[in-house]
Amino acid sequence: MDPIGWAYVSVGAGVAALALAAYSALRVMASPAAGERVQEPAGAIRDGAMAFLLREYTWAAAFVVIMSVLIFTLLDWGWWGTVAYVLGAVLSAVAGLVGISAATAANTRTAEAARQGGVRRALPVAFRGGAVAGFSVAGLGLAGLGFAYLVLHEWLEVADAVEMITAVGLGGSTVALFACVGGGIYAKAADVGADLAGKLEAGLAEDDRRNPAAIADSVGDNVGGVAGFGADLFETYVGSLVAPIVYAAFVFGTSGLGVRAVVFPLAVAAVGTAASILGSFAVRPRGVKLAAALHRGTYSAAVLTLLGVFGLVYWVFDGVEGVDHPLGLFVAVAAGLVIGLAASRISEVFTSDHHRPVKEIARQSGAGPTPVVLEGISDGMRSAAFSISAVAAGVAGSYWAGSWAIPESGGFYGVTIAAVGVGSILAITASVGAFAPIADNASAIAQMSREPSRVREATDSLAALGGATAPAARGFAAGSAAVTMLALLVAWRELVNSAAASAGRGAVLDTINVLRPGTLVGLLLGGGCVFLIAALNVKAASRAAGRMINEVRGRFREGPGSRKGRAWAQLANRVNVPAGTVLRGLLLPVVMAVALPLSIGFIDVQALGGFLVGALVTGLLLAVSMVNAGGAWSNAKKLVEVGAYGGEGSDAHEAAVIGDTIGDPFKDSAGPALNVAVKVMMMVSLVFASAFVG
């Protein structure tokens, strides 16, 4: 088969994923909608989520315009580059919109299915809602990138086409930055506000209809957990494909090996997507273990991907000059999947209530908030140390495998292929990730519309399932992001050197040598920049939560009437996270993630190398720490709420809620924001590489 055929296959696989998303959406819509009582809160949630998403996209659009001008003026790519960039941005935005629409349709239907048939009927509805989001992300990413590659490849030189492919990635990154950072701040302000003012102070249960922040909390689940998380994954996915394409094009050139190595990542992604489609059919509740149903989907997709790639490497690379052992590239893909599963497993051990860390935090809650917080922070950092060790081992393994496969410069190709490997089954892992907020929403809706306890028990157990499986999905995403960042760093070196060569200069970036003073300074600044972004994000979420708490208190002070329940729409309108607060929290991190690499790159491209490395290593560690600490606190609180160490209303519960509210901005706002910000830095550096050295 002509290697370029694989690009067509990838477009086909992307379209198939979109078809599955459409099918899942139809199945969700075909599920009976709920009665009017349920429609009311659900409608408020949908309207709130859509309104915020559109506002976010407006800001993002303004930023896209600025970046388009920069791309058009600083790079001599003509219109092609700008079009590619806008394409990436639009695809990511569409994925977010589709995801939110599906999630806000699936949440009431999940609640209704729970009413009609319990957990067993509700789980598939919620999962299909998640699948719409997950498969849209993967489908749009794969089809879009494959399409862009085919078009650009048709009209331009390979090197130019590949360079412009990076613009697609940057487009996705831009939208992800806004969706993830903005959505995270919104979500956590609402969550913390609802918990602190509603639960602790007013003594209301979770999602009590009298808690005026309950709607905002559910809106937050959607804009943060569906749109934000989806945008983050879209960015990682596209980035994981861009890295090997760039690397292969510039290192292996237009040789037979080069042409094949460029399309191989697309082929792997096509296989992984097909496997995810099959895997998604394995998700149906059997027996008593609900979590097993979700895990079955991921694991079967992983196994099918490995089987497919085993054949693929021989099909693509057998007998190609320069390739000694095609099997090595299979090992690289496997190493990537192992990193993802290891990171996912580490997150699970540290954040699930079946394992020691969370149990220990819950136990400590009897001793007050201090040990709860210290224990959680400590566990978060510990999990980050383990995660990064897994990534390090995976990098070493995939480098070795790549060198074994392609002795000449194949090592780092192996690392970039590992990134593709871990991203390959994104469709299914993203579906599992998006399942959690839908289940949470369904539980909130059941609570708000005062369904009988039988129904609430069903939706609660779905929500608990989401709480238990989300960390694994997030861990997988973090592992995927980590390898992708490393792959992008490696690809960046090749792009810079090749750009320098075409500008008539020698290789300007043979090494990123930390013992060179400029690089050392860059390294320190990169690490500092990550800490600053995290600091600003936490502060923004905390401040926004403070405003939210004041609002809720104000509502309660207005008289006993407001405690007794009012019309949903009214409440939703009254108590909302102020968009201005969220925007202010967004601005500085966005500017830093884009402007700093740009300006450092123009001054000294090697210093930019140091900057990226510093940002990468601190960003990985800090993000995983924050996400896992937050997850652990959240599940420890749930353990206490189901009765451990005193249960609801006890001092232990108060301590556990404090831990949970500290962890909320960590796990859903700052942690993901760091991940996205570092990827944006990488993407900006990639796109503007030729301007830096031109």
Backbone dihedral region for residue 660 (phi beyond 0: left; psi -120 to 50: alpha; all else: beta): alpha
In whole angstroms, how close is the CB of 355 to a copy of itself at the nearest point? 16
CB of 507 to a copy of itself, least distance (A): 12
User: Residue 62 or 603: which CB sits closer to a copy of itself?
Assistant: 603
| Backbone φ and ψ of 464, nearest 5° | -65, -40
Contact predicate 226/133, CB 8 Å: yes
Q: What minimum distance in Å lies between the beta carbon of 541 and a copy of itself?
A: 7
Nearer to a copy of itself, 81 or 394 (CB): 394
Closest distance between a copy of itself and the C-beta of residue 229, in Å? 22
Q: Which residues of 407-422 are buried (b: 16+ CB within 10 A; e: fewer)?
A: eebbbbbbbbbbbbbb
115: exposed, middle or buried (C-beta count within 10 Å: 0-12, 13-18, 19+)?
buried
Alpha helices in 365-409 (DSSP H): 369-405
Helix axes 36-74 and 426-448, enclosed angle (nearest 10)? 140
**Minimum Å distance from CB 191 to a copy of itself?**
11
Which one, 389 or 570, has the nearer CB to a copy of itself?
389
Shortest distance, position 414 Cβ to a copy of itself, whole Å: 10
Q: What is the largest CA-CA distance in the chain?
A: 80
> Which CB atom, from 415 or from 465, has the smaller least distance to a copy of itself?
415
Residues 6+ apart with CB under 8 A from 66: none
- Residue 226 vs 658, nearer CB to a copy of itself: 658
**Is residue 496 within 8 Å of residue 509, measured between CB atoms?**
yes
Nearest-angstrom CA–CA distance, 313 and 558: 68
Tokens representing 682?
């990488």
Q: How far is CA 36 from CA 165, 225, 449, in A?
A: 48, 26, 10
175 or 545, CB closer to a copy of itself?
A: 545
From residue 322, give the alpha-carbon distance in Å to each of 255, 257, 398, 683.
Answer: 10, 7, 18, 30
Which residue, 74 or 393, has its beta carbon nearer to a copy of itself?
Answer: 393
Burial, 200: exposed, middle or buried (Cβ in 10 Å; 0-12, 13-18, 19+)? middle
Q: How far is the CB of 603 from a copy of itself (least distance, A)?
A: 12
Q: How far apart are CB 538 and a copy of itself at their closest, in Å?
A: 4
> What are the structure tokens assigned to 316, written together?
């693509």
Q: Where are the alpha helices (DSSP H) in 31-77?
A: 36-74
CB of 369 to a copy of itself, least distance (A): 5
Whether residue 660 contacts residue 631, with contact meaning beta carbons closer than 8 Å, is answered with: no
Q: What is the DSSP letter of 576?
A: -
CB neighbours (10 Å) of residue 311?
Answer: 11
In eight-state DSSP terms, residue 645 is G
Compute the distance between CA of residue 321 and CA of residue 448 in angstroms, rounded to an integer: 65
User: Which residue, 142 or 481, has its beta carbon nearer to a copy of itself?
Assistant: 481
C-alpha of 342 from chain center: 17
Nearer to a copy of itself, 59 or 531 (CB): 531
Question: Which residues have CB under 8 Å from 214's CB, separation 6+?
Answer: 194, 198, 207, 208, 444, 448
For a copy of itself, which is the closer residue by CB, 250 or 399? 399
Q: Chain-centre distance of CA 535, in angstroms?
A: 20
C-alpha–C-alpha distance, residues 468 and 466, integer Å: 5
Q: Cβ 575 to a copy of itself, closest distance in Å?
A: 16
Q: Please, what is the minimum distance in Å from the beta carbon of residue 146 to a copy of itself?
A: 29
Q: Report in angstroms how near the CB of residue 401 gets to a copy of itself at its nearest.
A: 12
Rounded least distance, CB 582 to a copy of itself, Å: 16
What 3-state class would DSSP assign to 508?
Answer: coil
**Nearest to a copy of itself of 297, 609 (CB atom):** 609
Q: Is 453 exposed, middle or buried (0-12, 13-18, 19+ CB in 10 A)?
A: exposed
Rank residues 51 and 532 by Cβ distance to a copy of itself and give the closer one: 532
CB of 114 to a copy of itself, least distance (A): 32
Tell me whether residue 393 is exposed, middle or buried, using C-beta atoms within 10 angstroms of its C-beta: 0 to 12, 13 to 18, 19 or more. Answer: middle
Provide the angle, in degrees to the nearest 10, between the axes of the packed helices 605-641 and 579-603.
Answer: 150
Is the Cβ of residue 470 or residue 523 nearer to a copy of itself in the bound state? 523
Nearer to a copy of itself, 142 or 373 (CB): 373
Secondary structure of residue 567 in the 3-state scheme: coil
Residue 33 or 535 having the CB closest to a copy of itself:
535
Query: Closest approach of Cβ 305 to a copy of itself, in Å?
Result: 25
Contact present, 637 and 660 (Cβ < 8 Å): yes
